[in-house]
Structure 1
């Protein structure tokens, strides 16, 4: 009798998805709310046929060498910069992602962060909890999206979805910063022009070698006075140290983010935490990477990752593969 495949799941998933996967193999799942240490994942991967991976994981040559039976890594995410595509291909391992289910909720959160930052929601909530509220007073004045100039950096699925939502707020102009894309009703712009003209700058670009610290001291030094920057792409697309300096110097009006440089595990010298100095500033607003944290969406993401695993275990091509290891094997 042949051995059943082992399916390694590095974070707890819905019971419905567990049941589906269990039909096709033995499940080894992390029941803890905390991620396994990397050494523990490598140890467990030694006998794994499939891995369902998440944002906190990193798949590279070291892990792949330790997992001789591995056939597929199914990422329950869209941005796969922590996963080495070439190493998976060279090792004969399928690598798949979830390409579109995160788009809508992430775009919604981007708009929410922009409004929360611009309208001082964080400060207003804190004030209400002091017990000092005695009715309307003339404070906490902010800015609005209506009549503003908004720029979106990165016009992929998330960036395009942000623009669709901005179009309903009556922005005076919407600028798109992406040399590889043109959208109807959106003014094509360079990053330099967007920095100088935009009241709101939304960052929705993936992390690549060319986008690392795309928003840096140079660009921030020319930012429009009072500009609000909202990052829902990847943390290291924005230089957080440069943002701190720009905020302290009054070069920009505020910074909101759902993604952070400390999450970009593959980058040498990455920060190990969000800067306490950045957290201490009043004109910042942060959420703990909850762009896709909508219950129905998370379930759909897990189901999609499970689809990719099940396809490979049944001898088929995973529907959302981003590599072609069979070409190497051939």
Structure 2
């Protein structure tokens, strides 16, 4: 395949090294703005494109693919791919790749930071000082410590295990919920135990979400789930926004049953879900017991560059007619005749 004739579309900002890598094999069209293209703008760029580097902000479905007949590969600069219809891509002969292993450590690191920021009331204390209120030490902003706390993670995948490793120095009592238990030797290394959901919700001072978003896990955090949590416990979400019913969380915060909520993701982001809200719930935005970050789990400069380069190399492999190492649908492709 003659790569120099390829057109590659980058739907969001990428580092210069990534543009240089892709520019060596074809022409590169880049979104130079921080805001995503509209759907029509994206389709216009893709109508004669061979490759796309996609991010969380692009919704890839059959309708889009019908209008982009030259498209051969979509490289997601991401790990979770709920915004990409994999079956539709396979039916259109489009290879889809992801980046499965570079987001784990920075996401786990941010999670621990959210735990500390929430329980030690760091945001409120920062605002207090910036508001000109600080006159010296006062007996205020008493919080709780991560040290010695009970920590339960729902889903012991790569991120969950990385969080457990990072908590070793905090002398926490750690347990997890997962339909597939870790091997005993791995539990021993991580110093964790597998427990029932009911047990974890009753005992945990911090409940951390570490599962994927599926039809079964959509809004798994609802009124019933929250009511079973230990009074005053903290809920931390570094996973997917639509795992959580934000209205139910807002109600639990207002009642005081939920001690605090920290999240890096929101329902508004899950583009593939029809009827998703158009805003973050005001009861979460206005609560003093929340810490909110704008999906920055992987926002470490070197990490983001490595993620983008991984996606770029997947595009190059696909355009060479090779099977990219991180393809998730290569064996299910329906071959489309040129």
Per-residue displacement from partner, 1:83-115 (whole Å, max 9, x unpaired)?
111111111110000001111011000000010
DSSP 3-state at the match of 1:187: strand
| CA positional deviation for 1:132 | 2.5
Are 1:256 and 2:258 counterparts?
no
| CA positional deviation for 1:326 | 6.4
| CA positional deviation for 1:181 | 3.4
1:210 aligns with one of 208, 211, 216? 216
Are 1:181 and 2:181 counterparts?
yes
DSSP 3-state at the match of 1:291: coil
Asked if structure 1 preserves the Cα contact closer than 8 Å seen for 2:205 and 2:234, the reply is: yes
Paired residues for 1:105-120 under 5 Å:
105-120=106-121
DSSP 3-state at the match of 2:8: strand
| CA positional deviation for 1:307 | 0.7
DSSP 3-state at the match of 2:169: coil
Match of 1:199 in 2: 205
Alpha-carbon separation, structure 2, partners of 1:74 and 1:66: 18
Paired residues for 1:271-290 under 5 Å:
271-290=277-296
Structure 2 stretches lacking a partner, 5+ long: none
Per-residue displacement from partner, 1:168-188 (whole Å, max 9, x unpaired)?
2101x2111111232412111
| CA positional deviation for 1:22 | 0.9
Paired residues for 1:249-328 under 5 Å:
249-324=255-330, 327-328=333-334
Asked if structure 2 preserves the Cα contact closer than 8 Å seen for 1:7 and 1:27, the reply is: yes
Alpha-carbon separation, structure 1, partners of 2:206 and 2:213: 21
Alpha-carbon separation, structure 1, partners of 2:116 and 2:243: 22
Match of 1:229 in 2: 235
Per-residue displacement from partner, 1:243-290 (whole Å, max 9, x unpaired)?
011111111100000000000011111111101221000000100000
Alpha-carbon separation, structure 2, partners of 1:65 and 1:325: 21
Match of 1:63 in 2: 64
Compare 30-39 and 1-10 and name the one that shifted more. 1-10
Alpha-carbon separation, structure 1, partners of 2:332 and 2:139: 66
Q: 1:327 to 1:77 in 2, by over 3 A?
A: closer
Compare 98-107 and 269-278 and name the one that shifted more. 269-278
| CA positional deviation for 1:159 | 1.1
Alpha-carbon separation, structure 1, partners of 2:156 and 2:320: 36
Compare 1-10 and 236-245 and name the one that shifted more. 1-10
| CA positional deviation for 1:40 | 1.0
| CA positional deviation for 1:190 | 2.5
RMSD: 1.5
When normalised by structure 1's length, the TM-score is 0.96
Alpha-carbon separation, structure 2, partners of 1:129 and 1:70: 51
Give the aligned length.
329
Asked if structure 2 preserves the Cα contact closer than 8 Å seen for 1:90 and 1:325, the reply is: no
